[in-house]
Amino acid sequence: MAGQTFKGAPSDTRQIQQWDRQHLWHPFTQHKLWNQSDPLVIVAGQGDMLVDADDRKYIDGVASIWCNVHGHNHPHINQAIADQLGRIAHCTLLGLTTPNAVELARRLVELTPDGLAKVFFSDDGSTAVEVACKMAFAYWHHRSQPQRRAFVAVHEAYHGDTIGAVSVGGIEIFHKLFRPLLFETHRAPAPYCYRCPLGRRPDECDLACADKLGELLARHRGQIAAVVVEPLIQCAAGMIVHPKGYLHRVRRLCDEHDVLLIADEVATGFGRTGTMFACEQEDAIPDLMCLSKGLTGGYLPLAATLTTDRIYNAFLGDMDEQKTFYHGHTYTGNALGCAAALANIELFEREQTLAQLPAKIDCMRRHLAKIAEHDNVGDVRQCGLVAGIELVADGASRKLFAYGQQVGAKVCMHARRYGVIIRPLADVIVLFPPLSISMEHLERLMSVTTRCIDEVLADLPAGRADGYEG
Ligand code: PLP
């Protein structure tokens, strides 16, 4: 079938699987394992479902890695992209402008918290963060404070995989190898209550982790460009939900120390936490906000970094002052991506997406309460329509399973038998469905997850003894 389209015959599927092993390098994938199995071939999507080459249907329980909002193959977004395609697919924003890039910038300024006034487009979550870090760094340079060049982030942070985004990241297993390539970043303790790095309890700590952040800012006073945070929930770290008030305190600390705040809303933006943006819930207006993933409803790669007039104005000057922001990507403000993003935003109103969320969030909460009773479930965490279920070898001691046991992966693979696609982060089972998921499918997603945890853990007698201290 070289050069032909995929027709769906079993021999075509086998060919795709074979060529996959031969030619494709998948993200975050150990190919020694991958190449021993036949990958699931997805050929279509409809609403909250994915369809495989044998026409089997699966609930997309991870929203195609945390980006799908209104479902796959949505007629309104499809139409917007098709209409745009009939005009032009892409035109550079270098020296030119386009109506839908301008319109999208306007809509984003309207939607995001007051004070964010300018929009810089890029391609994905990582580049949105790179842009924010470079803007923060250059801002202080242009303000004649070039010594403010370091960043502060939290342990277990994840902001993407380019070198700047990795510099402000803090997930050891992903990032430690690249440390020699990274710029200076100080790390505050992660607000991870289940495994508090300070050994405190949430009912008595009074946000001691935020105090540590304050100490860090005081120790490096005058040297920090910006604090970077994932507001409310650190997704890639295993859906670590921050204690209430943490983000608000971070904003206050940034003000006290005259440091910029970068809110990475790449995963949380566009309704995921129950409000359009997570920052709204703690009344914390960032100086820079990074958006991607849900920006196009999960259709096309597009990102935006929003900032204030104060920061934007610091870059204004005569050419020979060299304050121009020398940064840009070929596909900056891509016309198809902007069309998808505008349609995505329209759908929030048309389909009353946010108004429908509380019932879904409640449904998730009810099921999670039951799941939490399982002996091998150490913690369940929820923020809006996201959940992380942390599996442990021993509930009382919070011992983890040995890494090589891949218990989380086994639970998720098992779920495929019941028509559900989910993906773990180590042994945290992640549930992150499209916001448009129907109640019926949400109930099924939750009950299949419960069942798979029961069945896989029951089949793992040796695993329980094989833990280590977390
Ligand atoms: N920031 C956050 C909070 C993320 O969760 C992610 C991806 O998961 C990124 C940035 C990176 O986005 P991308 O994979 O589009 O580069």
| Segment 203-216, tens digit of pLDDT | 999 999 999 999 99
Q: Which of 292, 317, 350 is the last residue of a domain?
A: 350
Q: Is-contact 282 231, C-beta < 8 A?
A: yes
- For residues 65 and 130, state if they share a domain: no
- For residues 200 and 212, state if they share a domain: yes
Of the candidates 360, 374, 455, 463, which has an alpha carbon nearest to the alpha carbon of residue 417? Answer: 455
d(CA 457, CA 375): 10
Q: How much of the chain is helix, strand and coil, in % rounded to 5?
A: 40, 15, 40
Q: Which residues pair with 307 in a beta bridge?
A: 118, 288
Q: Which two tokens stand for residue 274?
A: 């129950």
- For residues 248 and 371, state if they share a domain: no
3-state secondary structure (DSSP) of residue 449: helix
Q: Which helix (H) or strand (E) holds 378?
A: strand 377-382
Q: What's the domain count of the chain?
A: 2
332-382, pLDDT tens digit by residue?
999 999 999 999 999 999 999 999 999 999 999 999 999 999 999 999 999
CA 391 to ligand 1 centroid distance, Å: 24
CA 297 to ligand 1 centroid distance, Å: 15
Q: Is-contact 292 306, C-beta < 8 A?
A: no
- For residues 197 and 281, state if they share a domain: yes
Residue numbers of the domain that contains 117: 78-350
pLDDT category of residue 237 using cuts at 50, 70 and 90: very high
d(CA 49, CA 59): 5
Give me the residue label for tokens 């896989």: 456
Question: Ligand 1: does its nearest atom lie under 6 Å from the Cβ of 148?
Answer: no
Q: Is-contact 388 430, C-beta < 8 A?
A: yes
Length of the chain as a residue count = 470
| CATH code, domain with 156 | 3.40.640.10
Say if residue 5's pLDDT is above 70.
no
Q: CA–CA distance from 258 to each of 102, 151, 261, 288 (Å)?
A: 31, 13, 10, 14
pLDDT at 465: 40
d(CA 434, CA 427): 22
Instruction: Please count the CA atoms within 13 angstroms of the CA of 235 that sit on its side-chain side.
Output: 25
Atom of ligand 1 nearest to the CA of 234: 3
Mean pLDDT confidence for 5-20:
86
- Give the torsion sign (CA, 444, 445, 446, 448): positive
Residue 115 Cα to chain centre, angstroms: 23
**Which pTM does this prediction carry?**
0.96
Question: Ligand 1: does its nearest atom lie under 6 Å from the Cβ of 125?
Answer: yes
CB atoms within 10 A of CB 453: 22
Give me the percent of the chain exceeding a pLDDT of 90: 94
- For residues 426 and 333, state if they share a domain: no
d(CA 249, CA 271): 22
Mean pLDDT of the chain: 95
For a pocket test of ligand 1, which of 64, 121, 159, 300 has the largest count of ligand atoms closer than 8 A to its C-beta?
159
Q: Which helix (H) or strand (E) holds 346?
A: helix 335-350
- For residues 243 and 300, state if they share a domain: yes
Q: Is-contact 171 246, C-beta < 8 A?
A: no
pLDDT at 395: 92
- For residues 362 and 439, state if they share a domain: yes
Atom of ligand 1 nearest to the CA of 235: 5
- For residues 383 and 436, state if they share a domain: yes
pLDDT at 460: 83
d(CA 165, CA 128): 9
- For residues 183 and 235, state if they share a domain: yes
CB atoms within 10 A of CB 403: 11
pLDDT at 469: 37
- For residues 221 and 340, state if they share a domain: yes
Question: Ligand 1: does its nearest atom lie under 6 Å from the Cβ of 236?
Answer: yes
Q: Which of 326, 350, 374 is the last residue of a domain?
A: 350
pLDDT category of residue 470 using cuts at 50, 70 and 90: very low
d(CA 117, CA 104): 12
Give me the percent of the chain exceeding a pLDDT of 70: 97
- The residue type at 286: P
CA angle 196, 200, 206 (to 5 degrees): 110
- For residues 300 and 406, state if they share a domain: no
Mean pLDDT confidence for 178-189:
97
Q: Whose CA is nearest to atom 15 of ligand 1?
A: 125
Q: Which of 332, 350, 368 is the last residue of a domain?
A: 350
d(CA 268, CA 244): 16
Burial-class residue 76 by CB neighbours within 10 Å (0-12, 13-18, 19+). Answer: middle
Q: Which two tokens stand for residue 97?
A: 């402008």
Give me the residue label for tokens 């206050």: 252
Give me the residue label for tokens 């009382």: 396
| CATH code, domain with 63 | 3.90.1150.10
Q: Is-contact 207 196, C-beta < 8 A?
A: no
CB atoms within 10 A of CB 6: 13
3-state secondary structure (DSSP) of residue 430: strand
- For residues 362 and 311, state if they share a domain: no
Mean pLDDT confidence for 126-141:
98
CA 239 to ligand 1 centroid distance, Å: 13
Q: Which helix (H) or strand (E) holds 377?
A: strand 377-382
**Sequence-separated (6 or more) residues with CB below 8 Å from residue 399:** 392, 393, 467, 468, 469, 470
